[in-house]
Structure formats: C-alpha cells, structure tokens
Chain A
Amino acid sequence: MSACALRVFLQRAAVTRKAAHQTFSQTRAFPQCVTGSYTHSRGINTLTNSLRAEEKVTVHFLNRDGKRISVKALTGESLLDIVVNNDLDIDGFGACEGTLACSTCHLIFEEAVYKKLGRISDEEMDMLDLAYGLTDTSRLGCQVCLRKDLDGMILHVPDVISDARVDSEKESSTAPPKV
C-alpha cells in the first residue's frame, strides 16, 4: 500500500471513529457510492480493488493554474477520494475529509454532466452555499461518486478567495460569511 493510500486509510478510519461519537449529527449525509459509506470495510475495499468489478474511468481536473490533470479512477470513488488517492496538487482540498463540514472540495461541472449527477441533499447545499465563486453547476466533490457515464468529464477547480489584495471589508454576500 502506498504511503499516500495508507494515509487515506488512516484518515478514513479516524473519521469513522469520530463519526461514531456523533450522536445527533445524522444530518451528515455520506455519498451513496457503489462501495458504500465511509467505513473500515470501505477502506479495505479500496485496498483490494483488484478483486472487485469496479471499472476504470478517466476524469480531467482543470486546476487553478490552468493546468489539466488527467487521472484514471474507479467507479464508486468520490471525487475527493480521487484527489487524495492520486495526491493531486490542489491546495487545501478536502479540509474536513469528506464530512460536509467545509466547502473546500468545491468543483464546477460542465452543464450536461451536472444534470446527470445524483440528487443534492440539503446538507450538501448548506455547505456549498458557503463556497467562493458558487455557480449553477457547482457541487462538493466529496458528495459526488464516479460512474461509468461520467467518463471523460472535465472538473473545473474554482479559485478561492486567495487574492490578498481583496479588501476583506468589500467581500460579497456570497463569500464565506462570519464565524
């Protein structure tokens, strides 16, 4: 197992341990992926993927610096998993590790692809509302799982408010709001 995959596994396990302590946060909707929700067994599935029937699909990330990163990934993986497992160079992606507690895995989809995606939950929409540069075809990567019919899709990684010349007093109402 690569060091990177090990890190993911351990992080997922940590998320699970922490999730077990959440009693009333059942509003946290984990994506309905083919391989199931984030549990220890899912971690094991990731390790033994050669034994399963998931299919390989290609996705393209259009990064903030304009560079395109193409990766092959398995159906059932979330887009956050793909970024983490492939160690993609996207600063600050997935800060909350896929638990719907941030909006840093915000991705913008092509319109035709967006329409094919699964239903968006209130909980995802609540966090997506805080994302900078929100569009009508935005989703959180941790909630979207790869399917065969999404092969070849292009995912646009949006800019974050990272231009320090922006005066914080002029932030728009769609910018991440107060604490």
Chain B
Amino acid sequence: MKIHGLSSASRCLAAEGGVRGLSSSSGPRVCIVGGGPAGFYTAQQLLKDAAVDIYERLPVPFGLVRFGVAPDHPEVKNVINTFTQTAQHERCSFHGNVNVGKDVTIDELRQAYHAVVLSYGAEGNRSMGIPGEDLPGVFSAKDFVGWYNGLPSNKELHPDLSFETAVILGQGNVALDVARILLAPVEMLKETDITQNALEALAGSKVRRVLIVGRRGPLQIACTIKELREMVNLPNTRADMLPADFEGIAEALKDLPRPRKRLTELMMKAVKEGGDDKAEKCWGLRFFRSPVEVLAGADEKRAAGIRLALNKLEGSGESVRAEVTGQLEDVDCGLIISSIGYKSIPIDPAVPFDPRRAIVPNEMGRVQDTAGLYCSGWVKRGPTGVIATTMNDSFDTARVLIQDMEAGKLDLSVNKPGAQAITALLQTRGVRMVLFSQWEKINAEEEKRGKSLGKAREKLLDVDEMLCRAK
C-alpha cells in the first residue's frame, strides 16, 4: 500500500504532538471492529488521515486469511505482510482478545472515537434446513475448514474420517478446498500450516470418494478455474463425472465469455478423460441435485446417507434457477459437509441488522440511520468474493468515511480519547488485551513449533495458551 503525505487532518494531528498517550492530542480517531482482511485494508486507507485502532475478538489477527485460506495455498496468505506493516504503523494499534458486544459495547466505542467501522465478517453459516442436519457426521464447511486451520472454537470437532464416501453440498471454492484437503496425499500437506491433529486424522482417513453437489448445472458452478484445475491435477485421484449432467454444454461453449468458457472446457475435459483407472481415490461433481434429508444409519445414531432431489433448470442467463422434478436419489455416505455459505450475525443491539440478507444495512458503507458508524467487508456486502474483492470494498468504505470527515459530517472539533478510554474500561472489566507486539511472540512460538515438525508453523489451538505466550 502507499502511505501518502499528510492530509490537513493529520497535519493537525502532528501539530498537536502526535497520537500516542497524549490526552490533549486532537486529530481524527477511528475504531475498526474486526482484525481480518476487511479491518486491515480499511485501516490502511484510513491511516492517511486518522489514527486507527483495530479491535479483534481472538488474541491473533488476520481472520479468514489465517483460518479460512487452505493450508496448501500459502501464497494467498502473503497479504499478511502488508497487514503487518499496517499494524506497525505509528498511528495504528491492534488490540486482540477484545470481544466487541460483550467486553465493550458499540455505544462505548462510538463515544471514544470519531467513527467506528464494523468489519467483523461472517462467523455463522447458512444451514441446509433439512431433517437430519444435526446428526453426527454432518458438518458445516466453515467448521471443517476451521478445524484443519486451527480455529480455537473448532479444535474439538473430531470429524470421523473412517467412511469411504464424503458428500459436499455446494460447489464454490470453499467446497473445492474441502474436497482437495480430504483427498490430497499427506505429502502435499505435511509441510504446510495445517494443524497437526488434522494432518494425523487425514493420514489415517479412509475417505476415498468425494462428491461435490450443486443445485444447478455446469454453467452455474461457482468455483473458479484454479481450484478446479487443482482437483484435476490431484495425484492418485481420478474424476468421476456423469456425462448426462453435461448434455448440451458443448454446444453452449462458443457463446460463453472467456473465463466461463475455460472453466467449462476444463470440466468437459475431466468428463472425457476421467483419469488414471488405477487411482485409489476419486472425486466427482454432481449437478441438478439439492439435499432434502440426511438419512440416519440403522442405529439411528449418525448420518449414513443423504437424500437428494433432482432438479431441472428454468430461465436463462444469469437468472437460471433450479426447480424440483419430484425425483429423488439416495447416496450412501458417512461424512456430509454443507458448504452453502457463511453468514454474518448481529454484534450489538445498537447496530441495525438485516436478518434476511444477514448484513448490516448500509448505503455505500454508511450504516443506515447511524451517523459515525460504517461497515466494510462481508458484514457489509455478504459473504462472497476473494480477498481482493474485500480489499476494494474496504478501500471504498474508507474513502466514504474520509469524504464524510472532510464534508464536516463527523464532528472532528470534539476531542475523542480513543484507545486510552477503551483500554481503561477493559482493564476495569478484567479483559486482557493482546497488542500486536504480543501477537508477534505468539507468531514466533508457532513458527518455532512448526520448525521442529518440518512445517511452516504449528498454530496454537487454545486461547488460554495464546494469552500465556503473549505475556
């Protein structure tokens, strides 16, 4: 990122003797709730004109970059370098282990800062809403990914990988990540930052066949070509597709825009070539199928299969939708992973929330009816898009906020205490904050443990242990 010369607002800041620790210093102070990509990218832009404090619930920063991006995609995590620079900026401070909504309220933050930006993402998941969904053996992709990526709240997931067939509902990149991690040779994972217990579980896994199921057809698949290519190239696996699912697709190719055309051609190639018959493992895409029930085994105690309804497509172009035909198909499987979307939840009763879209209602990042409150990232737009999408969105919100500062919509004439006041409040409530320099101690410990295991890092799985290491 580029840190520009001082704007008039920050010249004011500098003239008043800087930001840190001086209760008499003025200058805009902004608070960001959420220390993931949205939070950091928003901070990056705001730092040109304001002092920025980031509050994050976990002791560790980086959100889905740490807990969502697959372990075998380390280059996607390079953004951590730019986030680290941002956190180390003299006008920025990171405060981990602070649960906004519980340890401190949004109103208290709004009193302490000139503006508050909500960047807390989507920690929930969409449920399938079908009978049997709560049976053992059924997981949300969010939890499964959290498990192999060391999210503390998923460390006790213990997915049973002793079944031959796994069915994943949803065909986005998260679904393909899960399929790839389930079928990848352990050699491919053992030097990554995947957690050791996930690595050991996968090493002993009996899963040999993964079906990735979507409601609509091949032309509507939501994943991108890079992830599909990784499946096609996966060692010791072959593709097991249904040619019937691809009827009429070859004819449609010529009219497709290049990205969709290349993706579809790659799928057609997988249908045609299949792969090495001697391969021990297989994966397949299944189209026109929606889950209607998770079937329990004879003992009624856990999932043993899934009932799928067969669809047909109505409409055309972008508005193609699936309609039921009445036909059903049962698939035996012992592991079911629902990958149909993350979902934001409300953080504080003082903040408006749209339960239908599961986002904070806003106009261009300005929270509806609430001056001085903004949002960026998934909580603003919904839980789709890659890191770069969130980056651009966060830059947008920051620009809107700066515009509002310059237009006098935020009262900058009032001094705001910022982190000083919040830190004092948190101390009286017994909350132990983790500063960025303390995260760096946790980071060093994780890298050290990783080194002894031949891995990029071994993540700490336990919040208490993180706090201990942060001392």
Contacts and interface: CB of A to CB of B under 8 A. Distances in A.
A122 interface: yes
A177 B221 CA distance: 10
Nearest to B257: A174
A89 to B, nearest CB: 5
B93 interface: no
Contacts of A179: 172-174, 342, 383-386
B191 A23 contact: yes
B229 A134 contact: no
Given A14-B81, A179-B384, A21 B188 contact: no
A91 B395 contact: yes
Contacts of B455: 21
B456 A92 contact: no
B226 A178 contact: no
B314 interface: no
A25 B233 CA distance: 11
A130 B386 contact: yes
B74 A126 contact: no
Interface string A96-135: 1101111110000000000000000011011101100010
Given A129-B258, A161-B389, A15 B225 contact: no
Contacts, number: 148
Secondary structure of the B contact surface, majority rule:
helix
A95 B390 CA distance: 12
Contact of B385 (A19, A27, A97, A176): A176
A165 interface: yes
Given A103-B388, A134-B258, A21 B74 contact: yes
Interface in A162-178: 162-165, 168, 173-174, 176-178
A131 B191 CA distance: 31
Contact of A15 (B78, B174, B365, B388): B78
Contacts of B74: 18-19, 21-22, 25
A130 B259 contact: yes
A27 B455 CA distance: 21
A174 B259 contact: yes
Contacts of B400: 164
Interface residues of A, number: 49
Contact of A164 (B224, B387, B396): B396
Interface residues of B, number: 62
Contacts of B258: 129, 134
Nearest to A165: B364
A11 interface: yes
A160 B259 contact: no
Nearest to B396: A164
Of residues A14, A102, A122, A123, which shows the largest number of chain B Cβ atoms within 10 Å of its Cβ?
A102
A40 interface: no
Contacts of A178: 172-173, 222-224, 384-385
Given A14-B81, A18-B456, A23-B187, A92 B386 contact: no
Interface string A70-110: 00000000000000000111111001110111111000000
Query: Across chains A and B, which 5 residue pairs bring their CB atoms closest together, nearest first?
Result: A99-B75, A129-B259, A164-B364, A101-B75, A178-B222
Given A104-B391, A178-B223, 5 more contacts: A91-B2, A123-B226, A130-B386, A162-B395, A179-B384
8 contacts: A7-B85, A23-B190, A27-B230, A95-B82, A100-B75, A130-B386, A164-B364, A179-B383
